Amino acid sequence: EAGVTQFPSHSVIEKGQTVTLRCDPISGHDNLYWYRRVMGKEIKFLLHFVKESKQDESGMPNNRFLAERTGGTYSTLKVQPAELEDSGVYFCASSQDLGAVYNEQFFGPGTRLTVL
Protein backbone atom coordinates (compact mmCIF):
# COMPACT_ATOMS: atom_id res chain seq x y z
CA GLU A 1 0.00 0.00 0.00
CA ALA A 2 1.38 3.40 -0.97
CA GLY A 3 2.06 5.82 1.83
CA VAL A 4 1.44 9.53 1.96
CA THR A 5 3.23 11.26 -0.87
CA GLN A 6 4.17 14.90 -1.28
CA PHE A 7 5.31 16.93 -4.24
CA PRO A 8 7.71 18.54 -4.77
CA SER A 9 10.33 17.27 -2.35
CA HIS A 10 12.18 20.57 -2.55
CA SER A 11 11.21 24.01 -3.78
CA VAL A 12 13.35 27.12 -3.97
CA ILE A 13 11.57 30.34 -4.83
CA GLU A 14 12.10 34.05 -4.47
CA LYS A 15 10.24 36.26 -2.07
CA GLY A 16 6.98 37.39 -3.61
CA GLN A 17 6.53 34.34 -5.81
CA THR A 18 3.80 31.75 -5.48
CA VAL A 19 4.32 28.09 -4.61
CA THR A 20 1.86 25.23 -4.50
CA LEU A 21 2.56 22.11 -2.50
CA ARG A 22 0.67 18.90 -3.08
CA CYS A 23 -0.18 16.02 -0.78
CA ASP A 24 -1.68 12.68 -1.74
CA PRO A 25 -2.97 10.85 1.33
CA ILE A 26 -3.22 7.12 1.76
CA SER A 27 -6.18 5.88 -0.24
CA GLY A 28 -9.34 5.78 1.85
CA HIS A 29 -8.09 8.18 4.50
CA ASP A 30 -10.69 10.86 5.08
CA ASN A 31 -8.52 12.90 7.43
CA LEU A 32 -5.71 15.00 6.01
CA TYR A 33 -3.43 17.29 8.00
CA TRP A 34 -0.83 19.88 7.13
CA TYR A 35 2.03 20.67 9.50
CA ARG A 36 5.07 22.90 9.15
CA ARG A 37 8.51 22.90 10.70
CA VAL A 38 10.39 26.16 10.52
CA MET A 39 14.16 25.81 10.92
CA GLY A 40 15.13 24.95 14.46
CA LYS A 41 11.59 25.01 15.76
CA GLU A 42 8.95 22.44 16.53
CA ILE A 43 6.58 20.88 14.01
CA LYS A 44 3.39 22.95 14.11
CA PHE A 45 -0.13 22.09 13.05
CA LEU A 46 -1.58 24.14 10.21
CA LEU A 47 -4.94 22.61 9.39
CA HIS A 48 -7.09 19.52 9.23
CA PHE A 49 -9.44 18.36 6.48
CA VAL A 50 -12.17 15.79 6.85
CA LYS A 51 -12.85 14.76 3.29
CA GLU A 52 -13.17 18.07 1.45
CA SER A 53 -14.16 20.17 4.47
CA LYS A 54 -11.83 22.18 6.65
CA GLN A 55 -12.33 20.83 10.15
CA ASP A 56 -9.75 22.99 11.87
CA GLU A 57 -7.61 25.71 10.33
CA SER A 58 -6.54 27.34 13.55
CA GLY A 59 -2.86 26.88 12.77
CA MET A 60 -2.80 28.70 9.44
CA PRO A 61 -0.39 31.60 9.94
CA ASN A 62 -2.09 34.20 7.75
CA ASN A 63 -4.16 34.72 4.63
CA ARG A 64 -1.19 34.18 2.33
CA PHE A 65 -1.77 30.46 2.88
CA LEU A 66 -4.62 28.71 1.11
CA ALA A 67 -5.35 25.02 1.45
CA GLU A 68 -7.79 23.08 -0.67
CA ARG A 69 -8.94 19.51 -0.94
CA THR A 70 -11.37 19.39 -3.80
CA GLY A 71 -13.12 16.05 -4.09
CA GLY A 72 -11.74 14.89 -0.79
CA THR A 73 -8.67 13.23 -2.28
CA TYR A 74 -5.39 15.08 -2.68
CA SER A 75 -4.77 18.45 -1.11
CA THR A 76 -2.83 21.53 -2.15
CA LEU A 77 -1.30 24.22 -0.01
CA LYS A 78 -0.59 27.47 -1.82
CA VAL A 79 1.57 30.24 -0.46
CA GLN A 80 1.03 33.56 -2.22
CA PRO A 81 3.07 35.70 -2.04
CA ALA A 82 5.83 33.82 -0.27
CA GLU A 83 7.88 35.55 2.41
CA LEU A 84 11.27 34.65 3.86
CA GLU A 85 9.72 33.37 7.09
CA ASP A 86 7.71 30.77 5.16
CA SER A 87 10.84 28.70 4.63
CA GLY A 88 10.69 25.33 6.31
CA VAL A 89 9.53 21.77 5.85
CA TYR A 90 5.84 21.23 5.17
CA PHE A 91 4.51 17.85 6.24
CA CYS A 92 1.28 16.23 5.29
CA ALA A 93 -0.34 13.42 7.24
CA SER A 94 -3.46 11.33 6.81
CA SER A 95 -5.55 9.04 8.95
CA GLN A 96 -8.61 6.87 8.63
CA ASP A 97 -11.77 7.68 10.46
CA LEU A 98 -12.33 4.60 12.56
CA GLY A 99 -14.64 6.29 15.01
CA ALA A 100 -12.00 6.15 17.71
CA VAL A 101 -11.02 9.06 19.88
CA TYR A 102 -7.75 9.28 18.02
CA ASN A 103 -6.74 7.70 14.74
CA GLU A 104 -3.04 7.23 13.96
CA GLN A 105 -1.62 9.78 11.56
CA PHE A 106 0.76 8.63 8.83
CA PHE A 107 3.20 11.23 7.61
CA GLY A 108 4.58 12.04 4.21
CA PRO A 109 8.25 12.81 3.56
CA GLY A 110 7.69 16.56 3.60
CA THR A 111 8.38 19.37 1.15
CA ARG A 112 11.37 21.54 1.95
CA LEU A 113 10.54 25.11 0.95
CA THR A 114 13.25 27.73 0.72
CA VAL A 115 12.27 31.34 0.10
CA LEU A 116 15.17 33.56 -0.96
Q: Which residues bind other proteins (CB under 8 A)?
A: 3-4, 31, 33, 35, 41-45, 48, 55-56, 59, 91, 93, 95, 101-110
Least distance to other proteins, CB of residue 107, Å = 4
**Residue with smaller CB distance to other proteins, 45 or 74:** 45
Residue 22 pairs in a beta bridge with 7, 76
Q: How far apart are CA 13 and CA 83, in angstroms?
A: 10
Length of the chain: 116
Q: How far is the CB of 56 from other proteins (least distance, A)?
A: 5
Smaller CB separation from other proteins, 11 or 95: 95
Cα–Cα dist 95/11, whole Å: 26
Residue 15: CB minimum distance to other proteins, A: 26
Nearer to other proteins, 74 or 81 (CB): 74
**CB closer to other proteins, 33 vs 65:** 33
d(CA 29, CA 89): 22
